[in-house]
């Protein structure tokens, strides 16, 4: 492990300790709104530093700046989520947006320089662009701004969507390309298209348009997540790695299949409603499974050959 990756791992460990400490003090219940905030904050504190170490084009670029800003910006966002929405909370969320936009800007420069020829790099760069969009929605949430009169919970869930489906899932499918080029390629393009399509579908429904678009977009993105789950199950079955690694890959696959099945059922709620499957249950089941059954273990066990020492 190179020095850059090592620093990011230690940042993630410290972030995890602080996150667990906050959970111990606040004790949010998975069905509560506070749990959604906890899931959002787990991304900048723990998952983003773990994810950045998988991006080779970041290793030799702006490393001191990344290491200097990442954890403080995540901590300020955490404090912002403990305050009531307003100008102070928005000011504290601003550094995370600045950090994410810096990464997104460098990602766009990388795509321009390389001509978008490599799907792995394209996915990883797009994951940083999605992260910046998620940071923007996190700022809107803390400022109390409700675009198009969205409910506050939708503003927060949109920030979560772009941090997890946008950043984590897009990054993970890029790492799957080395083992399952064709299947992972389909999943990658599905996620790249599905993440913005879901956001557009929700916006269309809010504007009073035909809700079928939101349903189709949700099913499309979830199906791409199912493909990612199948890939991890296949690795868990066929890998020559340790028994522990096989079990972790199997856990990732099962978690994705479970959470994406819930996403499909929720997406078609306009036509085949399931009474109990509402937003609180989705963040309790779908959100928790994505964070601890998929995102965290996937970023821990996945290895990018380009980052080998």
| CA 184 to centroid of chain Cα atoms | 18
Q: Answer for the pair 179, 231: CB distance below 8 angstroms, yes or no.
A: yes
Note the pLDDT tens digit of each residue in 217-259: 999 999 999 999 999 999 888 766 678 888 999 999 999 999 9
Q: Is the pLDDT of residue 104 over 60?
A: yes
Q: What one-character DSSP code corresponds to residue 56?
A: G
Which structure tokens are listed for 274?
């399931």
Rounded CA-CA distance 73/102 in Å is 12
Sequence length of the chain is: 309
Note the pLDDT tens digit of each residue in 20-57: 999 999 999 999 999 999 999 999 999 999 999 888 87
Contacts of 273 (CB under 8 A, 6+ apart): none
Residue 1 banded pLDDT, cuts 50, 70, 90: low
* Structural domain total, the chain: 1
Residue 308 banded pLDDT, cuts 50, 70, 90: very low
What domain range includes position 259?
A: 3-307
308: phi then psi, degrees, rounded to nearest 5: -65, 145
Residue 105 banded pLDDT, cuts 50, 70, 90: very high
The pTM assigned to this predicted structure is: 0.93
Rounded CA-CA distance 89/244 in Å is 42
Instruction: Report which of 127, 161, 154 is spatially closest to residue 286, judged by C-alpha positions.
Output: 161
Q: Answer for the pair 259, 286: CB distance below 8 angstroms, yes or no.
A: yes
Question: What is the enclosing helix (H) or strand (E) of 288?
Answer: helix 288-288
Q: Tell me the CA distances in angstroms from 192 to 160, 186, 221, one per residue in order.
A: 16, 10, 9
Q: Answer for the pair 168, 177: CB distance below 8 angstroms, yes or no.
A: no
Which structure tokens are listed for 165?
């489906």
Q: Which of 88-97, 102-111, 212-221, 257-266 has the lowest mean pLDDT?
A: 102-111
Residue range 251-276: average pLDDT?
95
Mean of all residue pLDDT scores within the chain: 90
């Amino acid at each position: 492990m190179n020095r850059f990756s090592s620093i990011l791992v230690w940042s993630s460990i410290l972030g995890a300790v602080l996150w667990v400490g906050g959970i111990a003090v606040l004790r949010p219940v998975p069905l509560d709104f506070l749990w959604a905030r906890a899931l959002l904050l787990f991304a900048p504190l723990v998952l983003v530093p773990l994810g950045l170490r998988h991006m080779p084009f970041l290793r030799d670029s702006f490393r001191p700046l990344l290491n200097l800003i990442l954890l403080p910006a995540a901590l300020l966002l955490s404090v912002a989520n403990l305050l009531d929405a307003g100008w102070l909370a928005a000011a504290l969320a601003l550094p995370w947006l600045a950090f994410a936009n810096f990464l997104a800007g460098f990602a766009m420069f990388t795509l321009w320089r390389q001509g978008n020829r490599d799907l792995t790099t394209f996915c990883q760069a797009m994951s940083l662009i999605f992260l910046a969009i998620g940071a923007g929605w996190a700022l809107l949430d803390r400022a109390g701004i409700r675009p198009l009169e969205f409910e506050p919970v939708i503003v927060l869930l949109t920030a979560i969507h772009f941090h997890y489906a946008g950043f984590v899932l897009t990054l993970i499918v890029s790492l799957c390309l080395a083992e399952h080029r064709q299947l992972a390629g389909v999943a990658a393009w599905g996620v790249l298209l599905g993440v913005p399509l879901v956001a557009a579908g929700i916006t269309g429904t809010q504007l009073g348009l035909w809700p079928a678009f939101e349903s189709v977009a949700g099913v499309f993105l979830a199906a791409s997540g199912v493909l990612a789950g199948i890939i991890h199950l296949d690795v868990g079955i066929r890998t020559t790695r340790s028994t522990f690694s096989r079990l972790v890959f199997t856990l990732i696959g099962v978690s994705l299949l479970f959470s994406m099945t819930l996403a499909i059922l929720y997406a078609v709620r306009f036509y085949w409603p399931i009474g109990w499957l509402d937003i609180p249950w989705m963040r309790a089941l779908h959100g928790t499974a994505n964070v601890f059954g998929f995102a965290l273990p996937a970023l821990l066990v996945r290895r990018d050959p380009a980052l080998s020492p």
